Structure 1
């Protein structure tokens, strides 16, 4: 089935997302490992991605762990430093598709408030035809409902969608619904896939 719509994940596809790397630099690896072992920071972030208030969720978590209060608050206060840099080749691929008039949408686990911060820092996040943001949808990948909601609103049949994501579980659920999937490991591989699908020329995919 030919591809009629490309859907991008954002974290680790268009923007690097590596909180551990940030904290290793900020507080040292040993303290970071101790904090992450004690505090479910990724679970906290999942709450934000489901639509919970960005600042309140993180600050409330910080108050439950006073010994880590300042460090946990960094997740909010220094958030853009956890989500950087942009993956430039992927951004070029997004823009190359758009330049050809090809439909491009986003499906991402992202909080309402954190996406506002990201969008202000990375203008290319405004360049999609449509954005499916988990915080607004109040459901996250890889739960099947989020893919169903995209199908209901995107205007394309599942089998015509090519979805790129960096997580195997997210791709697996999409493919189980009939979507075409690409597991993102590096932008070169994603570029090659777009060329193989006939969506971009070799030159356009550079």
Structure 2
């Protein structure tokens, strides 16, 4: 039996800072600044790692950018509402489950993960999940892949990891997991057929 491991952001859920900012703000300068001072920071990564709480991160963002306080408040309050499932990929999960074990391996904040976990029942189909904030580890750190293999007793040669970022795929392959670089739903289906998972 194969083990199919899925990333969340941009594989099972749409996550695009530009789309989020476009939905919340009109001013191009504000959007550009927020992208730099929120999404592209090490603080955002520490949220994913679970070493900063959402409130702590918000405080730091605002302390560093007091002139953007209102915008940062709005962004942090509403960004998770833009995490929409990629329907075509969610729809194939029950079919995949018939002959494979399914897992999630993803970098995700606690608040955002709890929000989507409560909102969508398809999470129940998975056999296990490794979420960065719970483990204090991030992709592409080798330890997070090793943790997946060890915790669920997976044979790396029978394990396939679907991610949209090449560095994360490369790191998985370094511990023996087979990588599938995600680009779109159609090519994902093709690749899953090629390995007889579908």
SS in 1 for 2:176: coil
Q: Which moved more, 1:154-163 or 1:25-34?
A: 25-34
In the alignment, structure 2 segments of 5+ residues that lack a partner are: none
Q: Which moved more, 1:141-150 or 1:40-49?
A: 40-49
Tell me, yes or no, if structure 1 residue 16 matches structure 2 residue 34.
no
Distance 1:30 1:171 in 2: 34
> What is the number of equivalent residue pairs in this alignment?
195
Distance 1:55 1:80 in 2: 15
Give the structure 1 partner of residue 153 of structure 2. 155
| 1:79 CA displacement | 2.7
Judge conservation of contact 1:75–1:82 (CA < 8 Å) in 2.
Answer: no
Instruction: Give me the CA root mean square deviation.
Output: 1.7
| 1:40 CA displacement | 4.5
Distance 1:146 1:61 in 2: 27
SS in 2 for 1:103: strand
Give the structure 2 partner of residue 36 of structure 1. 35
Judge conservation of contact 2:13–2:85 (CA < 8 Å) in 1.
Answer: yes
Give the structure 2 partner of residue 47 of structure 1. 46
Distance 1:104 1:9 in 2: 11
Distance 1:95 1:45 in 2: 33
| 1:177 CA displacement | 1.5
In the alignment, structure 1 segments of 5+ residues that lack a partner are: 201-206
SS in 2 for 1:105: strand
SS in 2 for 1:7: strand
Distance 1:62 1:130 in 2: 36
| 1:112 CA displacement | 1.8
Judge conservation of contact 2:163–2:169 (CA < 8 Å) in 1.
Answer: yes
Distance 1:159 1:58 in 2: 41
Matches within 5 A, 1:111-150: 111-150=109-148
Give the structure 2 partner of residue 89 of structure 1. 88
